[in-house]
Every structure is written in C-alpha cells, then in structure tokens.
Amino acid sequence: MINVIREPLIFEISSPGKSGVRLPALDVPERLEAVEGLSLREDIEGFPEVSETEITRHFTRLSQMNYCVDFGFYPLGSCTMKYNPKLNEKIAGMSSLVGVHPLAPEKLAQGNLELMKILENLLCEITGMDAVSLQPAAGAHGELTGMMLIRAYHQAHGNPRKYVLIPDSAHGTNPSSAHICGYVVKEIKSNDRGTISLEDLAREMTEEVAALMVTNPNTLGVFESDICQIAEIVHARGGFVYMDGANLNALAGVTRPGDMKVDVLHLNLHKTFSTPHGGGGPGSGPVAVKKILEPYLPVPVIEEKDGQYYLNYNRPQSIGRVKSFYGQFQVMLKALAYILALGPAGLREMTETAVLNSNYIRKSLEGIYHLKYDSPTLHECVFSDKFQKDFGVSNLDISKRLLDYGLHPPTMSFPLIVHGALMIEPTETESRRDLDLFIEAMKAIDREARENPELLRTAPHITYVRRLDEVQAARNPVLRWEGK
Amino acid sequence: MSYIPISDRDKKEMLERCGVKSVEDLFCCIPESIRLKGLLNLPGPLSEPEILEYFEERGKKNSFDRYLSFLGGGAYDHFIPAVVDYLSSRGEFVSPYTPYQPEVSQGTLQVIFEFQTLICQLTGLDIANASLYDGATGAAEAVLMANRIKNKKRLLVASNVHPEYRQVIYTYTRNLGLEVVEIPYDRLGRVDQKGLESALNSHTSVLLCQSPNYFGVVEDLKTLGELTHKHDALLAVVISEPLSLGLLEAPGKLGADIVTGEAQSFGLPLSYGGPYLGFMACKKEFVRQLPGRIAGQTVDAEGRRGFVLTLSTREQHIRREKATSNICTNQAHCALRATIYLETLGRQGLKKMAWLNLQKAAYALDRLTSIPGVSRKFGGPVFNEFVLEFPSDWERIKQKLEEKGILGGLSLGNDYQGLERCALVTITEKHSREKIDRYAEVLREVLK
C-alpha cells in the first residue's frame, strides 16, 4: 500500500513567529491608555502560527480527503444531493449584493430587498401558499418557526393545545422541533403501505391536538395519497397540517402543498433548490403559510410601497424574530438563480427526472435488495439489508464497501420503520452512466456478500482511513487538540 | 436543461426498465384532483448571461457601497485574506453533505476538530461544538442549555445584549414556561450590579450578558461571574465581536460557564446578514447538554488517528423529542472559513488585528469627541465600538451625514428609551486615518 501523506493538525506544524498574513501598520498615534480598565490576555495559548504556503497545502490536502457532489454520485436519501451550479456561486459572490451591511438604511439596499421579495413570490407560486418568511436558517429552524406560528394562532384563540401528531417515519427534527415549541409528541404508527392510516389519525385527532406534522412524500418516498382526507380530519378538529418540505424535489411543478390543504410548510433551499450543503450548512429553511397564519410570521417582513421596498417590524401578532437580520441571504441568491435558470418547464423536468432516476434504480435493484414496502415511490426508495443479513452482512458493511467502489453510500438506518435501511435518493442531476455505476456496484457487493462476506465486514479498504471506531470516540471523548 | 444529464434516448430506455410508458405514469400515486394541469407561473428559463445581468441590475439598485460606513452592531466589515476565499471555494469543501461517512469526510471532520480547538483556545473553555446558526440563536440556545443544567425557570438577560439577540431569546422561551428578566445597565454602560443582585434568587438558572456589549463596552465578567455563582446560577456570555478575544482575557478564565456568539468577523462577508456563524463553548461537565454537532478524535481499524461526529445521543436524529436541540444542518462551511481565517492570521496576526481595531477606535473616539457638543455616552472601556451622544436628536444628524455620503452609526433610540440622542459607532482596521478624519470633519460641519 502506498504511504500517503498523513496530514497533521495545524497545531502540530505551528512554529513561533510565523503568520499567513501581512497586515498594515497602525496609521494613527498609538495610545497605550486605550487599554485602561480592560482585562487583557497574556497570550492565546496554543493558537497556531503558520505561513500562507502551509495554510494552502493544509487545506488543499484536507479537501482531498472529502467525497463531494463535484466528484461523484451522492445518493443520500432525504438529503437531495443534487449538483450545485457554479453560476450561483459567482452570483453569491457579487460585492454589490453581498457587500451590503444588514443594518444599512433600506433605501440603500433596494436591490437586495427586491431580490428577496421576488424569491418569496416565486416560492409562493411553487408551493401554492400565500406568504413566505425567508428568515429561518435551515430545515429544522423552519420547522420550529412553523410550529411556533401554529402555537401563536392557537394561543390567540384561547388555547395553545397540548399535542402534536407525528408519524413514526418522520425525520428526528420533527418531534424535536415540536418539543422545543412546548408540545407533547404523539407518534402515529405507519400502516402496511408505509403511510398514515385514516382510522388511526381520526382516533388520535382530538381538540387537544395542535397539528399533524407530515412529510409528503414521506421518508419512504411514498406519496400520502389520502393527504386531502388527512387534512380534512385535522381541520375538522381545529388543527393545522404542517408539511415537512424536505422532499419537495418529488413534487415541484407537478403538484403543490397548498393545493393539498397544507397550512404551513418549510422548504430546504439547500435540497430542492440546489444550494450546496457545504459539509453541513449553511442551509436555508423558508416557511410558507396560508393566509390564516400570515399575521404570525417572524418580523421583519418585506413589503413594497410605491416601488420602494421596506422592512415592516410593526406586526403585533408576530411570533417575533427567530434569527438576527433576515436569513441566509447568500443562499437565497443561489436558489433564486436556480429557479430562473430552470423556468417553469425546467422545474417540472427536474422533478420528473428525479422520480425517473429513483424508479430506475429501484427497478434495477428490486429482488437483489429487500424492499419492505411495495407501494409506488417517487424521488427516493428504501431498501434494506434483509437478504444480505443471511450472510452476516449489514447495511453498514454494504455502505462501507461502496466507498471502495468510489461511490457515496445511501442514507443508513433511516427511516426507523425499516430495519437495516438503505435509503436512496439519486436526484435529477445524475447521468445514466453514473446511475449504472451505482447499480452495478450494488449488484457486485451483493455477490461479494455471498462469496466473501469478510471483505465487506472489514471495508473500506482503500480510503484515507479505514473503518473508524465510533464507540471509542463516544466513550472516551477527545473533542479538541490538547497539546501546547 | 444543462443541469439534467439524461438524454431522450436514456429516458426512453429507463422508462422501459421501469415498465411504464411515460413519466406521468410514475406519478400515478398523486390524485388527479391535486395535480397541476399546466405549468407554474414562473419567469425563465434564463440563459447564463441573462441571469448574471439580472443580478447585476439589482446590484446597481444597492447604493450602500457609495457611502463611507461606520455601521457595526453585530455585523462587521473586516479584511478577509485572499486564501480564505480561494481555499473555501474548493468543490471538496463546498459540495459534500454533513460528514456521516467519516472514512470519506476526514477533511470536513478535521476542519471541525480544528475549529472546536480554536474556539476553546479563544474562549478559555474546555469544549466547543461544530457551529450554530448565528449569534442570536446561540444566545437563545445558551439560556435553554443553562435551564436544562440548573432546571430553574428564571433566566436573566442583560438589557445591553444585542436587541435582536434578546428578541430571539423571547421567541424561543415564550412557549416553554420560562421567565426572562432584563437587567438594566449602569452609567458605564455595563450590567448594573445592584440591579443584578436584586434580580438574582434561588430560582435563577443563568445570567446572559454580552461582552463587548451592544454599547461596545467590555463587561467586568469576573464580578458578574462571582455574583451569579453565589446564587448557584451560571454565567453565559455572548460575543458579537469575537475579534476582541485577540486582546481580551478569555471569558472562561474570568468565570464564564458558557460562551456563545457570532463569528462573522472571522472571514465572512457582511452578506446582508447571512449566512453567519454561531459558535458555542462550555465547561467539560456540561458536555451532555451542549446543542449541535461535535467532532471527536478516534482511531481507524489500523490504529491511525481519524475523526468522527460523536456524542450524537444528544441529537435529534437519535433522541428525537428528547434531544438537547432540534438543530441539524448548521453552518459548517462558515466554520471552515473561520478556521482558515484564524489559522492564517495565527497567534500574532489575530493580536495585531485586534490591536488595530482597538487603537483606531480610540483615535476615532478622541477625534469625534473633540467636536463641540459630541460626547462619549458611557464611561466603560471599549474595543472597537462606542456610543456617542449628540446635542440633538440623532436621526436628524444621521440624515445630514447621509446626504454627505457618511453612514455615521446605528440609532439606539428605537431600542433604548433615553438614547434618542445617541449612536453606536463602529471602527475596524479597514477605516484608515483619512476616513476617520473625514467623518470628524463632516460631523463638525453638520453640527455647526
């Protein structure tokens, strides 16, 4: 095996006196009395000292240890790892847009306010909703905001109510967001189609339930075909339907949450609208609502009068702020550029291709990997390791072996209702060749599971590091460099 | 569509394998009644040059860059070394997901580990997380965390904490049956110690203060820590200008139990308010209550060092409604930028950068307060922001300055009764002596 360079921590290559930057000299008279009354530090103990060359090599080498969408197929279910158009990065770097201070007078930031308003309007059209707040920073933040809107409505009508219903297939953020909003979570079991049963819902839906949080299509990729009846049941008891919009890549241009009687949903601009994930953010999680919830939206809201845009803070029923300033502005720019590039027909083609790609993979692997639910699926499908388990091979082993094939694995062990889950979402930005590479690798791995399971249990073999000991990391936490 | 690499021939063959005639058949599970009959009413498709022009035209409608700005208040215009943009824009950093497969994510994970270390070194605390959304949500998470640790419902928040941070705290705590009490400020612009002592009682979980605070004044954290600890409450400190930590004593060494804040100053552009970078550090014993992702060190099957996301039993994907926070996607790429920025400046560079800010602010304070009628509002020591008091209502002076191309500072009157004649002025290393002198000259003229 070739002995590749093991990149040390920056602190380990630090040497006193070096710096990666040349700063200007002080151009005003130095006043030592300026520090009077301050507790000054003697040193920043352990802080690195390296040159620009070393910085560049360090981060270039680190970057090369990452798998990324620019390199290849990234079929993480529920994550919508589509290609990130490079034009959008260029736009998000325009200094005339991103050089503006957030507290600049509104009249000096008209272009930015207009762009945000345009994006709000386009998202309303795409979702079939009446108003949008761009303030939430990510999907989970959007969920929390959406639930706060619901609570504010109920509170204003005399009773915030106590429970929120959430299917057992939901993302973990759903119950967590509901809890932080002060609600008690009641789980609804999925039926044998993997969807919500109307009878169960009708039984659980009382006047103490504030809302149902539903993901549609759900995390199996299965569309809740009864969504309109579901909404009727919830509305009849005075509750709201919250939709987790993480899977909008299955719907955009084909159907609209607003037309399904959804009252509030969040979008993930970093999923459906192509903005990059950056290794875990920044995302952007706008919240879209029907008229009934609009008075409660976070402040400020962008309004227009006589062709001038301004920020309205005078909204007495508002839940208040959920974030400083107005949201993840650069991310919004990228999403808007994406919608403009696609246009209405392109948006529909996006969704259709995402669904086609997913079904192509499903059909190609059906019978080789176990599919717990045979309901039709849209943009993603969830297999399991049930067949390979007979040879002592788990979804973890299959995933790690995929790394040796130069591919990123699917989402593992989620949704929780499928034991040993492998959740695959290809998105529309994959070529047939890339889809086939994945399918062939999955087939080869199934053969290896039968013939040489040990090869899988010890995978990956050719990555920068081999399988990592996660148990030790948690049992004996080392969370920072401790040297001097 | 250039982002969709499936040809008509591919499509035909793929449909065949799926056993359907057309793509519409794949949507059969969606009831006809809710399917769109036509196309959405959206603009486009626009070509690449058309989109560029679309945004350039809107950029021209922003006239901010034609002004000399002295605005800060939680968003700072600092110099960003070229390596930060260059290295952070590598596709290997921009386009991966959260590092769920550590064997092919060592780059991102090692960056987070280095980021956590840098934040610990700056704050003087034991552990830090991988990031939060921003300073405001960091402040809210900090008081919720303190409430979980102490399990007492009374939360004290200094009134000189950034107004937007306080608003977010109210939004977050309103539904949870918690009591938020604001502590007044004194003549120095600092937390009023008498007010604090009378507000502290056995039901108090935490005092959250900001340092330097919204008035730019550096707090006496040691005393605040002693007072809060005497009542078995925690001291949480939020920092909106962490560049100050290049010079100021680490809050962890002065008694802070939790330090959170906004790290936009570390290599992130103003970006009209986002994405920014929340951070959080705390003492080791609180690790189970820390929100957000954490990277940890471990070994691989061959005994080599590697990094993974760890202690995830705190998090929503494992614990669901029992998680410490609902946060999932955070600000990883912003944390990468901050890491490159801090490591590029390094020990000497960060100190020097902080020194430039402090010295230039001291010069500006001298120059501006030498103008008749202009005085320093608060006596407490400052870093790179300060509050000036004017002879008449600030709004009118602000207008006149604006007419002469200067954004002289942020109004305080909307958020603080009695400060209608005051403004918060921010100086960074980007303000040359010439720019500061120009502000002083124009202000003198305007006040004549």
Cβ of A100 and B62 within 8 Å? yes
Quick: pLDDT tens for A439-466.
999 999 999 999 999 999 999 999 999 9
Which percentage of chain A shows pLDDT scores above 70?
99
Which are the contacts of B183, defined by CB distance < 8 A and separation ≥ 6?
B156, B157, B158, B159, B191, B192, B195, B196, B199, B207, B209
Average pLDDT over residues B399-415: 98
User: Burial level of B139, CB count in 10 A (0-12/13-18/19+)?
Assistant: buried
Kindly report the number of other CB atoms within 10 A of residue A25's CB atom: 6
HSE-up (13 A, CA, CB side) for residue A149: 31
Q: Cα–Cα distance between B94 and A67 in angstroms, integer? A: 11
Q: Is the pLDDT of residue A252 over 70?
A: yes
Q: Is the pLDDT of residue A2 over 70?
A: no
Quick: pLDDT tens for B152-165.
999 999 999 999 99
Partner residue opposite A64 with nearest CB, options B51, B92, B333 = B92
Residue indicated by tokens 């955009």: A252
> 3-class SS at B88?
helix
Q: Is the pLDDT of residue B346 over 70?
A: yes
Quick: pLDDT tens for A164-181.
999 999 999 999 999 999
Partner residue opposite B30 with nearest CB, options A223, A326, A458 = A223
Partner residue opposite B89 with nearest CB, options A89, A139, A348 = A89
Cβ of A31 and B270 within 8 Å? no
Kindly report the number of other CB atoms within 10 A of residue B388's CB atom: 24
Q: Cα–Cα distance between A418 and A422 in angstroms, integer? A: 9
Structure tokens at B138: 């960091």
Which chain B residue has the Cα nearest residue A34? B362
Kindly report the number of other CB atoms within 10 A of residue A53's CB atom: 11
What pLDDT, on a 0 to 100 scale, did the predictor assign at position A4?
A: 66
Spell out which residues of chain B touch residue A321, defining contact as CB-CB under 8 Å. Answer: 136, 164, 167-168, 171
Spell out which residues of chain A touch residue B350, defining contact as CB-CB under 8 Å. Answer: 44, 47
* Closest chain B C-alpha to A445 CA, distance in angstroms: 18
Spell out which residues of chain A touch residue B274, defining contact as CB-CB under 8 Å. Answer: 102, 137, 282, 323-331
What is the CATH number that goes with domain A345-471? 3.90.1150.10
**Angle, alpha carbons A245-A249-A252 (nearest 5°):** 85
Query: Which of A151-155, B230-234, B247-251, B311-315 shows the lowest mean pLDDT across its residues?
Result: B311-315
Instruction: Name which residue leads in pLDDT, B262 or B312.
Output: B262
Partner residue opposite A341 with nearest CB, options B7, B51, B170 = B51
What pLDDT, on a 0 to 100 scale, did the predictor assign at position B314?
A: 85
Q: Is the pLDDT of residue B219 over 70?
A: yes
CATH architecture designation of domain B82-341: 3-Layer(aba) Sandwich (3.40)
> 3-class SS at B91?
helix
Which percentage of chain B shows pLDDT scores above 90?
95
Spell out which residues of chain A touch residue B380, defining contact as CB-CB under 8 Å. Answer: 37
Cβ of A111 and B73 within 8 Å? no
Do the strands A240-244 and B406-407 form a parallel or antiparallel pair, or are they unpaired? Answer: unpaired
- Residues A126, A129, A134, A136, CA torsion sign: negative
Partner residue opposite A432 with nearest CB, options B14, B245, B340 = B14
What are the DSSP E strand ranges found in B198-301? 204-210, 234-239, 258-262, 278-282, 295-299
Average pLDDT over residues A225-239: 98
Which are the contacts of A301, defined by CB distance < 8 A and separation ≥ 6?
A131, A133, A311, A312, A315
Distances (CA, A) of B426 to A109, A151, A294, B386: 20, 39, 36, 7
Domain B64-79+347-447 grouped into CATH 3.60.21.70 = no
Do the strands B234-239 and B204-210 form a parallel or antiparallel pair, or are they unpaired? Answer: parallel
Q: Cα–Cα distance between B376 and A252 in angstroms, integer? A: 56
Which percentage of chain B shows pLDDT scores above 70?
100
Query: Which of A48-52, A395-399, B131-135, B326-330 shows the lowest mean pLDDT across its residues?
Result: B326-330
The band of B319, judged by pLDDT with boundaries at 50, 70 and 90, is confident
Spell out which residues of chain B touch residue A44, defining contact as CB-CB under 8 Å. Answer: 121-122, 245-246, 347, 350-351
Which sequence spans correspond to the domains of chain A? 87-341, 345-471
What pLDDT, on a 0 to 100 scale, did the predictor assign at position B265?
A: 98
Cβ of B320 and A176 within 8 Å? yes
* Closest chain A C-alpha to B383 CA, distance in angstroms: 9
Q: Cα–Cα distance between B110 and B20 in angstroms, integer? A: 47
Query: Which of B148-162, B222-236, B308-322 shows the lowest mean pLDDT across its residues?
Result: B308-322
Q: Cα–Cα distance between A220 and A135 in angstroms, integer? A: 29
Which chain A residue has the Cα nearest residue B135? A324
Quick: pLDDT tens for B36-92.
999 999 999 999 999 999 999 999 999 999 999 999 999 999 999 999 999 999 999
ipTM over 0.90: yes
Q: Is the pLDDT of residue A1 over 50?
A: no
Instruction: Name which residue leads in pLDDT, B315 or A392.
Output: A392
> 3-class SS at B135?
helix
Secondary structure in 3-state letters for chain A: CCCCCCCCCHHHCCCCCCCCCCCCCCCCCCCHHHHCCCCECCCCCCCCCCCHHHHHHHHHHHHCCECCCCCCCCCECCCCCCCCCHHHHHHCCCHHHHCCCCCCCHHHCHHHHHHHHHHHHHHHHHHCCCEEECCCCCHHHHHHHHHHHHHHHHHHCCCCCCEEEEECCCCCHHHHHHHHCCCEEEEECECCCCCECHHHHHHHCCCCEEEEEEECCCCCCCCCCCHHHHHHHHHHCCCEEEEEHHHHHHCCCCECHHHHCCCEEECCCCCCCCCCCCCCCCCCCCEEECHHHHHHCCCCEEEEECCEEEEECCCCCCCCCCCCCCCCHHHHHHHHHHHHHHHHHHHHHHHHHHHHHHHHHHHHHECCEEECCCCCCCCCEEEECHHHHCCCCCHHHHHHHHHHCCCCCCEECCCCCCCCEEEECCCCCCCHHHHHHHHHHHHHHHHHHHHCHHHHHCCCCCCCCCCECHHHHHHCCCCCCCCC
| Residue among A154, A251, A9, A109 nearest B270 (CA) | A109
> 3-class SS at B279?
strand
Which chain B residue has the Cα nearest residue A36? B381
Whole-prediction pTM: 0.98
Quick: pLDDT tens for A102-126.
999 999 999 999 999 999 999 999 9
- Residues B331, B333, B334, B339, CA torsion sign: positive
Which are the contacts of A450, defined by CB distance < 8 A and separation ≥ 6?
A391
Cβ of A79 and B97 within 8 Å? yes
Q: Is the pLDDT of residue B206 over 70?
A: yes
> 3-class SS at B390?
coil
Partner residue opposite A321 with nearest CB, options B85, B168, B348 = B168
Q: What is the DSSP string of B5-60?
A: ---HHHHHHHHHHHT-SSGGGGGTTS-GGGB-SS---------HHHHHHHHHHHHH
Quick: pLDDT tens for A23-40.
999 999 999 999 999 999
Is the CB of residue B101 less than 8 Å from the CB of residue A67? yes
Q: Is the pLDDT of residue B1 over 90?
A: no
Cβ of B1 and A470 within 8 Å? no
Quick: pLDDT tens for B183-197.
999 999 999 999 999
Which sequence spans correspond to the domains of chain B? 64-79+347-447, 82-341
Spell out which residues of chain A touch residue B321, defining contact as CB-CB under 8 Å. Answer: 175-176, 178-179, 185
Is the CB of residue A87 less than 8 Å from the CB of residue A452? no
Structure tokens at A243: 């939709």
What pLDDT, on a 0 to 100 scale, did the predictor assign at position B315?
A: 84
CATH architecture designation of domain A87-341: 3-Layer(aba) Sandwich (3.40)
- Residues A426, A432, A434, A435, CA torsion sign: positive
Spell out which residues of chain A touch residue B359, defining contact as CB-CB under 8 Å. Answer: 26, 28, 30-31, 34
Partner residue opposite B248 with nearest CB, options A39, A357, A463 = A39
